[in-house]
Amino acid sequence: MVYFCSGTDSERLEWFRTINIAGENLTDQELRNAVYAGPWTADAKRYFSKTGCAAYGLAGDYLRGVAIRQEYLETAIEWHMEAEGVKSIEEYMGRHQHDPSEVALWNHFRSVIDWTKATFPKYRKEMKGVAWGPLFNEFGAGGKGGKKALDPKKLEKQVADLMEDEDVTSKPGIYSYVLDGDESHLNIRAFSPNMKREAYERQKGKCPKCPKKDQRKLDLGEMEGDHIKPWHEGGKTDAKNCQMLCKDCNRRKAGK
């Protein structure tokens, strides 16, 4: 049985998804390659989609997934989308479908990896799967943050220290953090129930940040753990650096 279907790109993609429910499931990028088949996609697959392809040789240690399931190609397009001002992989592929070659994508990908290797010369396994493209787009020479000269030696020292900090629970997030300073990449360890209980008893259930006249005994569940000395000033996630605040005070302190 043969069906002939017609429609827009997004309709065809939706149709592929629908008929792909049975058997071996195709990845999103495998489906896109089918919908946007053409010289551009054929060329891109030579670089990004074969076992032992050029992208694997250059950057296999830095990429999540496997080339033959089109995950390298997907990542490379995601990294280049911003530079082209497009919002989705589909839009990107639609725009390039009939281009004779994908050399612009490969050049951008190579720039990302070259920049990564020059900025963080010491390889660690935690570097695999980091979103290097957005970091390059922001902090590479052409990016908004690219005017500030980066010092690989200084960065390496910061990375090494943070790798050993047991309060940093997301080690891959270190690379983003040393560039943009956003602590949320690090997923700083939260206080354990025991640490919180200890602080709660010590404080006799009262929030030390509330005005004296409003202080009353709260339930443990009405309070949240807070670093007395903030993590970025060297405060640890341990019992003696824990205080319990009422939810209002904690949010105010965190600036939420």
Binding-site ranges for Zn ion (CB under 5 A): 207, 209-210, 246, 249
Tell me how far apart the alpha carbons of residues 17 and 29 are, in angstroms, rounded to a whole number: 11
**Quick one: tokens of 27?**
């990845």
Shortest distance in whole angstroms from residue 241 CB to Zn ion:
18
Cα torsion 131, 133, 137, 140 to 10°: value is 90
Instruction: Using the minimum distance from each CB to Zn ion, give the nearer residue, 112 or 249.
Output: 249
Q: What is the smallest separation between the CB atom of 246 and Zn ion, expressed in angstroms?
A: 3
Question: Per DSSP, which regions of the chain are E strands?
Answer: 223-227, 242-246
Q: Least distance from C-beta 242 to Zn ion, angstroms? A: 15
Burial 123-159 (b: 16+ CB within 10 A, else e): eeeebeebbbbbbbbbbbeebeeeeeebeeeebeeeb
Least Å from the CB of residue 226 to Zn ion = 10
Shortest distance, position 248 Cβ to Zn ion, whole Å: 6
Smaller CB distance to Zn ion: residue 180 or 201?
Answer: 201
Nearer to Zn ion, 98 or 247 (CB): 247
The answer to whether 79 and 136 are in contact (CB under 8 A) is yes
- CB-wise, 174 or 207, nearer to Zn ion? 207
Cα gap 197→217, rounded to integer Å: 14
Nearer to Zn ion, 122 or 247 (CB): 247
